[in-house]
Amino acid sequence: MPINPYLGTLFGYGSDSGGMTGSDRIGLYNKTLKNEAKDTERLSKDASIKRDLERLQKAISSAKTPADLLKDPTARKVLLQAYGLAGQEDNVALATKALTSDTTVTGNLASQLTNAAWKTAAQSLDFAKSGLTKLKDPTVFAEIKANFIEYQRVSEVADQSTEVSDALHIRSMEDKTPGVYNVLGDRILRRVALTLAGLPDEIAYQSIESQARQVEKRIDLKEFSTAEGREKLINRYLIISGNTGFSYMA
């Protein structure tokens, strides 16, 4: 199963691999790929995950409106984590207003927020136009369940190595060349690109145009457009992550 596409906005924090070497990261990456189906199956049977999903289902059945549903902390947690919005679970007012946004209306909150996952979630759930109807669709619920379980799986990987969870995100990308500004605006892609380019985080203090020029000068973004190219980038990234010997030039 490909990694949940909503998870690309998660795990935007810094390196968490501790004393791992490049070989350790590659070993964990390969092990994660090999065990994907087994780990997904294991997590689908996890008691706490099953309990959270059952709670969501009950909340959907008893709620009269999306706002009622989002008052339930477990239901809110599952939905937000499934749609790549972990970390916002306690922000009830924001979650309610953003997820019930009508994204077809100019100036709606979900579309204005920096994290595009809010807009994606609002569109997918369609609370603004269909209330809870779409969420009661078994197909939609099955997708949310799969996404929630996938979030837990990638979380386990990220706890061991953020770089390996980065690699899973890169592996799941579409077969197209990302624009340099899209790369710089995505936390994971940005971290990967700067590492591969040998550029420090401090480059963020420069203009976005300067950042773009330096990234394009040092790496070929076309390599992201094929599975073979992405695997080469992944292996290089996992090997050199954690090195501090940047050769930075303005």
Residue 110: inside a domain: yes
Which of 103, 136, 153 terminates a domain? The answer is 153
State the pLDDT at residue 18.
Answer: 57
pLDDT (0 to 100) of residue 115: 84
pLDDT, tens only, 30-40: 999 999 999 99
Both 211 and 146 in one domain: the answer is: no
Token pair for 192: 């990967």
Asked if the structure places residue 194 within a domain, the reply is yes
pLDDT at 248 over 50: no
Among 107, 136, 153, give the residue marking a domain's end. 153
Check whether residue 145 and residue 100 sit in a common domain.
Answer: yes
Q: For the segment 93-106, what is each residue's pLDDT rounded down to a tens digit?
A: 999 999 999 999 99
Q: pLDDT-derived band of residue 121, with 50, 70 and 90 as boundaries?
A: very high
Distance CA 52, CA 78 (A): 7
Q: Residues 199-207: what's their mean pLDDT?
A: 92
pLDDT given at position 246: 41
pLDDT digits (tens, 9 = 90+) for 127-161: 999 999 999 999 999 999 999 999 999 999 999 99
- The answer to whether residues 78 and 144 touch, using CB atoms and an 8 Å cutoff, is yes
Name every residue whose Cβ is closer than 8 Å to that of residue 63 and which is 6 or more positions away in sequence: 69, 72, 75, 132
Q: Which long-range contacts (CB under 8 A, 24 or more apart) does 64-72 make?
A: 65/131, 65/132, 66/96, 66/99, 66/100, 66/125, 66/127, 66/131, 66/132, 67/96, 67/100, 69/132, 69/135, 70/95, 70/96, 70/99
Q: For the chain, what is the domain count?
A: 2
Q: What is the pLDDT of residues 11-59, one digit of tens each?
A: 444 444 457 899 999 999 999 999 999 999 999 999 999 999 999 999 9
CATH number of the domain that 100 lies in?
1.10.3700.10
What is the per-residue pLDDT across 166-183, written as a single tens digit (0 to 9) for each?
A: 999 999 899 999 999 989
Token pair recorded at residue 12: 């935007």
Both tokens of residue 21?
Answer: 């070497």
Q: Are residues 72 and 134 in the same domain?
A: yes
Instruction: Give the model confidence (pLDDT) of 217-241 as tens digits.
Output: 999 999 999 999 999 999 999 999 8
126 lies in the same domain as 50: yes
- Domain region containing 61: 43-153
Q: What percent of the chain has pLDDT over 70?
A: 89
Same domain, 229 and 129: no
